Structure 1
């Protein structure tokens, strides 16, 4: 235990040296945070690395569970840091592995400084502890980064879905829903939810749905489009479809979807003309 405390102090006293040596040896020709020339980014990167060393050397004086729990705050910070989010993951992993080699060298330096060297078994325990700790932290950082990026992608996709199904106000309680591009099941669900909510909020009583810009739907999507029409009917909204392409109509027929009671026109101009009569 005493040797562990001494090793902890040895490494802690060299944390700043570890950071400076690491940064000086960085390959700064790549991309992301490690290649930045912004003084503020560099300063923050060094501070993050220094904090990493302050945490890591505690592996020799803390219980493992408490050690990783304390380290997790740093992991979350790095995994969600904008500069690291814009850095290729393989470069982040490369730097963890380089730091691991740094520690192997410092453990050797510590052992060589002792007048009575410890057993090889104890040296191996120290090395394994460092390797395991860095591997776990590296994996957690990559996991946190991936999860955060996936959250951002989902948010962006939701925004795209919202923007790709705009409800356009028309006079006298009417509105237009122009649909363009391929509609997958996620987008179809967003259209269903946003349109029902929008028609209720805007007090729409007649909605024109233009499908002339839709080229591909699957059977699930066709069902959801007609679920939308049925949902609108339940809240008192009359629906007129325009631009219904033959392949979409054929899919609907194959599904046994009933067109009865649905106003259908070949184009949007005809739909609006019908709605104004």
Structure 2
């Protein structure tokens, strides 16, 4: 990179001005997510993040390229995993990167004008290319890290949803209830198997009532998983009672050759709980 301490100092001295100008330019009718926040604390945090960006970016004029990007990496990761930015669409964030890039190009023009005759057009063009290259690399690295943390957040949210959709409710006398509601695919059925066993052991349940009245459709793999669940619970000393089996679910199980002979079955949950 073509280093120039004078350009670095010029930009660094105006770092907070860059931040205030950028924030004032936000079109609140178009931005969403973190940029649309009206919370004073969130706004101040956003400005501090933007200011830190300027502190790093202007170092493109005093550091070697590898060192510059290595030092920038912590800021990129911090912003990529920031909850406010994770909740903001990427196209909005990248749009603001480009708006800030335009600020820098304007400030480079101002620097050249203030120092007319000192720097050539070739040098000014080189600085412009440096700015564009730096922004391009930072944006690519941000998108990569942001995607990684978005996937982590998504998996975490899915795990919470799965846990909430597999609630083993502790009743009296070491009994428990597992109401299965909604569609059950193979993945959810597998999760039911894992969670039900661990929750029964954790809550010291020895008799689990599994209510299927909220399940309308059961495919081959799901039916097998339910039977596997019953067998697995038996191995850890938990008796099971099925209730609310719909006719279509019963037909599917029979067609699969699954036997209900050894199972404790009740017509509905109320009947099961009276046992």
Q: SS of the residue aligned with 2:26?
A: coil
Give the distance between the partners of 1:167 and 1:37, measured in 2 at CA.
40
Contact 2:169-2:177 within 8 A present in 1 as well: yes
Q: SS of the residue aligned with 1:194?
A: helix
* Aligned residue in 2 for 1:14: 14
Contact 1:168-1:177 within 8 A present in 2 as well: yes
Q: SS of the residue aligned with 2:213?
A: strand
* Aligned residue in 1 for 2:182: 181
Rate the CA distance shift 1:38–1:195 in 2: closer, same or farther, 3 A. closer
Give the distance between the partners of 2:38 and 2:209, measured in 1 at CA.
54
Count of paired positions = 273
Give the distance between the partners of 2:261 and 2:136, measured in 1 at CA.
63
Give the distance between the partners of 1:180 and 1:159, measured in 2 at CA.
16
Give the distance between the partners of 1:166 and 1:39, measured in 2 at CA.
39
Rate the CA distance shift 1:14–1:241 in 2: closer, same or farther, 3 A. same
Structure 1 residue runs without a partner (length 5+): none
* Aligned residue in 1 for 2:52: 51
With normalisation by structure 1, the TM-score equals 0.84
Give the distance between the partners of 2:53 and 2:151, measured in 1 at CA.
25
The CA deviation at 1:52 is: 0.8
With normalisation by structure 2, the TM-score equals 0.85
Contact 1:28-1:36 within 8 A present in 2 as well: no
Equivalent residue runs for 1:216-227 within 5 Å: 216-227=217-228
Q: Which segment is superposed worse, 27-36 or 59-68?
A: 27-36
Q: SS of the residue aligned with 1:175?
A: strand
Q: SS of the residue aligned with 1:179?
A: strand
1:186-216: CA deviation from partner (whole Å, max 9, x where unpaired)? 3323321221122223333332211011112
The CA deviation at 1:73 is: 1.7
Rate the CA distance shift 1:204–1:21 in 2: closer, same or farther, 3 A. closer
* Aligned residue in 1 for 2:117: 115
1:44-70: CA deviation from partner (whole Å, max 9, x where unpaired)? 322222211110111232232322222
Contact 2:3-2:62 within 8 A present in 1 as well: no
The CA deviation at 1:114 is: 4.3
Structure 2 residue runs without a partner (length 5+): none
Contact 1:179-1:213 within 8 A present in 2 as well: yes
Rate the CA distance shift 1:50–1:269 in 2: closer, same or farther, 3 A. closer
* Aligned residue in 2 for 1:105: 106
Give the distance between the partners of 1:110 and 1:203, measured in 2 at CA.
73
RMSD: 2.7
The CA deviation at 1:182 is: 1.4
Give the distance between the partners of 1:168 and 1:40, measured in 2 at CA.
40
Give the distance between the partners of 2:38 and 2:198, measured in 1 at CA.
48
Give the distance between the partners of 1:4 and 1:157, measured in 2 at CA.
49
Rate the CA distance shift 1:197–1:13 in 2: closer, same or farther, 3 A. same
Give the distance between the partners of 1:165 and 1:155, measured in 2 at CA.
15
Contact 2:242-2:263 within 8 A present in 1 as well: yes
Contact 1:181-1:215 within 8 A present in 2 as well: yes
Q: Does residue 96 of the first structure (1) align with residue 125 of the second (2)? A: no
